[in-house]
Structure 1
Amino acid sequence: MSQIVRRLGVAPRYRGSATGATCPDIFELADGNFAVIGTDATDSLDAQLPADAARADDERIVVITRETLVRAKADIPDA
Protein backbone atom coordinates (compact mmCIF):
# COMPACT_ATOMS: atom_id res chain seq x y z
CA MET A 1 0.00 0.00 0.00
CA SER A 2 1.26 3.46 -0.86
CA GLN A 3 2.04 6.18 1.67
CA ILE A 4 0.38 9.58 2.07
CA VAL A 5 2.60 12.33 0.66
CA ARG A 6 0.45 15.41 1.26
CA ARG A 7 -3.02 16.78 1.88
CA LEU A 8 -4.78 18.58 -0.97
CA GLY A 9 -6.50 21.70 0.25
CA VAL A 10 -6.78 22.73 3.87
CA ALA A 11 -7.24 20.67 7.03
CA PRO A 12 -10.85 19.94 8.03
CA ARG A 13 -10.63 22.29 11.01
CA TYR A 14 -10.26 25.20 8.56
CA ARG A 15 -13.48 24.07 6.87
CA GLY A 16 -15.51 24.09 10.07
CA SER A 17 -14.90 20.60 11.49
CA ALA A 18 -13.92 21.40 15.07
CA THR A 19 -15.09 18.11 16.57
CA GLY A 20 -13.81 15.56 14.07
CA ALA A 21 -17.37 14.37 13.48
CA THR A 22 -17.20 15.24 9.79
CA CYS A 23 -13.75 15.34 8.28
CA PRO A 24 -13.80 14.85 4.50
CA ASP A 25 -10.27 15.03 3.17
CA ILE A 26 -8.17 14.37 0.05
CA PHE A 27 -4.60 13.08 0.06
CA GLU A 28 -2.01 12.49 -2.64
CA LEU A 29 -0.21 9.16 -2.34
CA ALA A 30 3.41 8.33 -3.13
CA ASP A 31 2.36 6.25 -6.14
CA GLY A 32 0.51 9.23 -7.67
CA ASN A 33 -2.97 8.05 -6.73
CA PHE A 34 -5.33 9.87 -4.37
CA ALA A 35 -7.10 8.78 -1.19
CA VAL A 36 -10.39 10.34 -0.14
CA ILE A 37 -12.07 10.38 3.26
CA GLY A 38 -15.79 10.90 2.86
CA THR A 39 -19.20 9.66 3.87
CA ASP A 40 -19.99 6.18 2.55
CA ALA A 41 -22.98 6.63 0.23
CA THR A 42 -22.67 3.35 -1.65
CA ASP A 43 -26.06 2.01 -0.58
CA SER A 44 -27.95 5.13 -1.65
CA LEU A 45 -26.03 5.99 -4.85
CA ASP A 46 -25.03 2.60 -6.32
CA ALA A 47 -28.33 2.10 -8.18
CA GLN A 48 -28.07 5.63 -9.60
CA LEU A 49 -24.73 5.10 -11.35
CA PRO A 50 -24.94 5.69 -15.09
CA ALA A 51 -24.96 2.64 -17.35
CA ASP A 52 -21.32 3.20 -18.33
CA ALA A 53 -20.11 3.33 -14.70
CA ALA A 54 -19.30 0.37 -12.50
CA ARG A 55 -18.11 -0.30 -8.96
CA ALA A 56 -16.03 -3.33 -8.00
CA ASP A 57 -16.96 -5.27 -4.87
CA ASP A 58 -14.03 -3.75 -2.99
CA GLU A 59 -14.90 -0.16 -4.00
CA ARG A 60 -17.18 2.26 -2.17
CA ILE A 61 -18.88 5.46 -3.32
CA VAL A 62 -17.90 8.25 -0.96
CA VAL A 63 -19.24 11.79 -0.76
CA ILE A 64 -17.13 14.80 0.14
CA THR A 65 -18.37 18.34 0.58
CA ARG A 66 -18.16 20.78 -2.28
CA GLU A 67 -15.95 23.00 -0.12
CA THR A 68 -13.47 20.13 0.38
CA LEU A 69 -12.98 19.71 -3.36
CA VAL A 70 -13.01 23.44 -4.15
CA ARG A 71 -10.39 24.15 -1.48
CA ALA A 72 -8.24 21.30 -2.89
CA LYS A 73 -8.50 22.50 -6.50
CA ALA A 74 -5.31 24.59 -6.39
CA ASP A 75 -3.34 21.55 -5.14
CA ILE A 76 -4.59 19.10 -7.78
CA PRO A 77 -1.96 18.63 -10.51
CA ASP A 78 -2.93 19.25 -14.14
CA ALA A 79 -1.19 16.08 -15.28
Structure 2
Amino acid sequence: MHGEQAPVEVRTRVAILEAALDPTHGQFTGQPVWIGPTARRFAEDLSARLRQAAQGLIDALEEELRAVPAKGSPSAGRH
Protein backbone atom coordinates (compact mmCIF):
# COMPACT_ATOMS: atom_id res chain seq x y z
CA MET A 1 0.00 0.00 0.00
CA HIS A 2 1.42 3.38 -0.97
CA GLY A 3 1.01 6.34 1.35
CA GLU A 4 -1.76 8.03 -0.60
CA GLN A 5 -3.60 4.77 -1.25
CA ALA A 6 -3.55 3.62 2.38
CA PRO A 7 -6.44 5.82 3.63
CA VAL A 8 -8.56 4.83 0.64
CA GLU A 9 -7.81 1.15 1.28
CA VAL A 10 -8.67 1.48 4.98
CA ARG A 11 -11.92 3.30 4.21
CA THR A 12 -12.82 0.54 1.74
CA ARG A 13 -12.11 -2.16 4.31
CA VAL A 14 -14.06 -0.31 7.01
CA ALA A 15 -17.02 -0.06 4.62
CA ILE A 16 -16.78 -3.81 4.01
CA LEU A 17 -16.74 -4.42 7.78
CA GLU A 18 -19.77 -2.20 8.30
CA ALA A 19 -21.61 -3.89 5.42
CA ALA A 20 -20.76 -7.31 6.85
CA LEU A 21 -22.49 -6.35 10.09
CA ASP A 22 -25.63 -5.02 8.38
CA PRO A 23 -27.42 -8.39 7.96
CA THR A 24 -26.81 -9.30 11.60
CA HIS A 25 -27.86 -5.87 12.75
CA GLY A 26 -31.00 -6.18 10.61
CA GLN A 27 -31.86 -9.54 12.15
CA PHE A 28 -31.18 -8.23 15.61
CA THR A 29 -33.30 -5.12 15.20
CA GLY A 30 -35.86 -6.41 12.70
CA GLN A 31 -37.19 -9.42 14.58
CA PRO A 32 -38.57 -9.77 18.09
CA VAL A 33 -35.43 -11.55 19.27
CA TRP A 34 -34.66 -9.00 21.94
CA ILE A 35 -36.92 -5.99 22.07
CA GLY A 36 -37.48 -3.00 24.25
CA PRO A 37 -35.58 0.10 25.26
CA THR A 38 -32.58 -1.85 26.57
CA ALA A 39 -32.22 -3.73 23.28
CA ARG A 40 -32.51 -0.48 21.29
CA ARG A 41 -29.87 1.23 23.44
CA PHE A 42 -27.57 -1.79 23.04
CA ALA A 43 -27.94 -1.77 19.25
CA GLU A 44 -27.42 2.00 19.03
CA ASP A 45 -24.40 1.84 21.34
CA LEU A 46 -22.86 -1.04 19.38
CA SER A 47 -23.30 0.82 16.09
CA ALA A 48 -21.87 4.03 17.54
CA ARG A 49 -18.86 2.24 19.04
CA LEU A 50 -18.09 0.45 15.77
CA ARG A 51 -18.29 3.67 13.78
CA GLN A 52 -16.14 5.47 16.35
CA ALA A 53 -13.53 2.69 16.30
CA ALA A 54 -13.46 2.67 12.51
CA GLN A 55 -13.08 6.46 12.34
CA GLY A 56 -10.32 6.29 14.96
CA LEU A 57 -8.47 3.81 12.78
CA ILE A 58 -8.75 6.06 9.74
CA ASP A 59 -7.71 9.14 11.76
CA ALA A 60 -4.67 7.34 13.21
CA LEU A 61 -3.57 6.17 9.78
CA GLU A 62 -3.94 9.63 8.26
CA GLU A 63 -1.96 11.15 11.16
CA GLU A 64 0.84 8.61 10.65
CA LEU A 65 0.92 9.34 6.93
CA ARG A 66 1.14 13.09 7.55
CA ALA A 67 4.17 12.47 9.79
CA VAL A 68 6.05 10.56 7.06
CA PRO A 69 7.99 12.84 4.73
CA ALA A 70 7.00 12.60 1.08
CA LYS A 71 9.52 10.93 -1.24
CA GLY A 72 11.67 13.48 -2.97
CA SER A 73 10.86 16.34 -0.58
CA PRO A 74 13.82 18.52 0.41
CA SER A 75 13.63 17.40 4.05
CA ALA A 76 13.26 13.69 3.26
CA GLY A 77 17.00 13.00 3.45
CA ARG A 78 17.77 15.23 6.43
CA HIS A 79 17.82 14.05 10.03
Judge same fold: TM > 0.5, yes or no: no
Q: Pick the structure with greater CA Rg.
A: 2
More strand by share: 1
TM bin, normalised by shorter chain, reads under 0.3
